[in-house]
Amino acid sequence: MSKKAIIVGSGVGGLSSGIRLAKLGFEVLIFESNGFIGGKVNSKMIGEYRFDMGPSVFTEPHLIEELVSLCGKSEDFFQYHKLEESCRYFFSDGQHVTIKSGKQEVSKSFQEHFGEDLSQTKAFLGRIKSNYEAVYPVFIEVSLHRFTHWFNKSVWKAISRIPKYGLMSSMHQVNKSNFKNPKTTQILNRMATYNGSSPYKTPGMLNIISHLELNEGPAMPKGGMVAITNTLKKLAEDCGIKFYTNEFVSAIIHQNNEVVGVKTKKGSYACNLVVSNMDVHFTYEKLLNGFAAPKKILNQEKSTSAIVFYWGIKGSFDQLGVHNILFADDYESEFKALFETKSMHVDPTIYIHITSKIEKNDAPNGCENWFVMVNAPINIGQDWDQILSQMRERVLTKISKQLNTTIEELIEVEEISDPRKIESTYFGKQGSIYGNSSNGAFSAFYRHPNFSKKIKGLYFSGVTVHPGGGIPLALNSAKIVERCVKEDFLLS
């Protein structure tokens, strides 16, 4: 009789966990409370405009290709564009700079636009590359919570570089000490937002995020970000995985500290193991009611949320690329508002993502699909309707000023998301996107393990557990789950 695995949630971590377990020989069922697959990585047509509704930055495509290869598919099963640009930056003094990808191009841009020393920039980019390569096999690809995973020949290399990680300094302190222009520092600081943290609190070690953004450069799947979900779903179906959409799992059933199944509104399903791809906070609150949660881990400061305006724009702007940032003038005050007073800053940093720059079918001819996002605090009961009204006005004013065009007149279709919607649609605790933030010297080391230490057969994948937030880390969480399941079920 084959062993059965149930995945709760069909986000990237859930889909990739399901594929890996199916390839181990498990019968896999994936339950999704929404009517669509993919979690935050989903797509929607609003009028004649197509929008990716969630994550918009894609790095490390080899992780998707690894799953494609695992399933025996050809290389062209998943296709993507390699972007020449990292991002276009707009500053409050009117300066706007396009940063291309690659150490040489980034170094030249920092020298030309910000007066930075060429060799200093190259040394910095080389250092974060080496840090990333040292940390990856001992922190990102394995569990920090199983001693056996530490028997790795790469451990000593990682340990030897500890003085170079910047663990005891903030990201901002490290960047400020390496570069003389505040604008350079601001560009590097923004990488903290990739896991919903503050550059003034998160450790300098997290500068390894800049390696993927600057040295390697971003990509974009052909068909938009939703192509990631579509690819994983096809792989899962080919592996025989069954999907149950619009079926909310209400409880993980366990007896004698061992998983025996799950319960939904439609019935109960027996299984040998469960992988929760739901926010780890809600896994304990909603699915393990009464079971003692690891309070020290779950009570850490949560990551930011977001307000997103999906605008179909009747017009096109050569000044904008696929990825664009309109910076706040006072970046530090913006993060103080987000994390200390749980409020929106009067001058927010604005991110604009436009897939139609490359995927021409995403908008009508001569038009663009704008995904316009500002970071937001978690939901603690603020008056979001009033905040949305204020933010819409401020965002439109700021973009219009930069582009010297009245943007509101060009909006053909519109939809808005906020922390309340993120919580209700994707079950992110208080609208948090990544679970806990990394606002502390060792916070990245205190994320929830990928397995339960108290309930046999219970595992966790996705952005709210180890190794952290973002699509690449969610994919790696599934690899860790796979290894743990092998150890617990196939090798024991």
Predicted local confidence at residue 390, as pLDDT: 98
Does residue 85 sit in the same domain as residue 12? no
Cα first-last separation, the chain: 18
Report the alpha-carbon distance of residue 83 to residue 70 in Å, rounded: 26
Question: What's the one-letter identity of residue 418?
Answer: D
Of the three residues 215, 235, 263, the one that is the final residue of a domain is: 215
**Number of independent structural domains in the chain:** 3
322 shares its domain with 429:
yes
Statement to judge: residues 125 and 49 lie in one domain: no
Q: Are 413 and 458 found together in one domain?
A: no
Both 251 and 192 in a single domain?
no
Indicate the helix (H) or strand (E) that contains 182.
helix 182-189
Q: What are the mean pLDDT values of the chain's consecutive 10-residue runs (492 residues total)?
A: 90 98 98 98 98 97 98 96 96 96 97 98 96 90 84 72 80 97 98 96 94 96 98 98 98 96 96 98 93 90 97 98 98 98 98 98 98 98 98 98 98 98 97 95 84 96 96 97 95 66
- Alpha carbon of 145 to those of 37, 135, 148, 354, 449: distances in Å? 30, 16, 9, 40, 6
Helices (H), 319-440: 331-336, 384-403, 419-426
How far is the CA of 336 from the CAs of 198, 205, 339, 342, 374, in angstroms? Answer: 9, 21, 5, 8, 15
Q: In this structure, is residue 331 part of a structural domain?
A: yes
Residue 69 lies in a domain: no
Say whether both 140 and 160 belong to one domain.
Answer: yes
Residue 239 in domain: no
Measured CA to CA, the distance from residue 270 to residue 125 in angstroms comes to 50
CB 278 within 8 A of CB 14: no
The CA-CA-CA angle for residues 377, 432, 142, to 5°, reads 135
| Domain shared by 446 and 406, yes or no | no
CATH number at residue 8: 3.50.50.60
Amino acid occupying residue 373: M
CATH number reported for the structural domain that contains residue 92 in this entry? 3.90.660
Helix 103-114 to helix 118-135 angle (10° resolution) is: 140
Give counts: helices (H), strands (E), the chain. 16, 19
**What pLDDT does residue 154 have?**
73
**Is residue 23 domain-resident?**
yes
Domain boundary among 215, 236, 271: 215
pLDDT value for 159: 72
- Residue 320 belongs to some domain of the structure: yes
Distance of alpha carbon 338 from its chain centroid, rounded? 18
Dihedral of the alpha carbons of 66, 69, 71, 74, in degrees to the nearest 10: 140
The answer to whether the beta carbons of residues 377 and 430 sit under 8 Å apart is no
323 and 422 inside one domain: yes
User: Helices (DSSP H) in 337-426: which residue ranges?
Assistant: 384-403, 419-426
423 and 326 both lie in a single domain? yes
CB of 125 closer than 8 Å to CB of 104: no
Question: Is position 65 within any domain?
Answer: no
Last residue of one domain, picked from the residues 200, 215, 230: 215
Q: Which residues on neighbouring strands pair with residue 31, listed in sequence order?
A: 8, 244
Residue 288 CB partners (closer than 8 Å, separation 6+): 251, 252, 254, 455
Instruction: Give the pLDDT confidence score for residue 161 in this predicted structure.
Output: 79
Amino acid at the residue 38 = G
User: HSE-up of 244 (CA within 13 Å, CB side)?
Assistant: 19
Q: Are residues 312 and 323 in the same domain?
A: yes
Left, alpha or beta for 255 (phi > 0: left; psi -120 to 50: alpha)? beta
> Is residue 238 included in any domain, yes or no?
no
Q: Which residue has the tokens 């922390």?
A: 419
- Determine the pLDDT at residue 21: 98
Q: Which one, of 319, 321, 375, lies nearest residue 190 by Cα?
A: 375
Identify the CA nearest to 91 among candidates 359, 450, 398.
398
Q: Do 429 and 308 share a domain, yes or no?
A: yes
The parent domain of residue 146 ranges over 103-215
Q: 208 and 90, same structural domain? A: no
Does residue 209 lie within any of the structural domains? yes
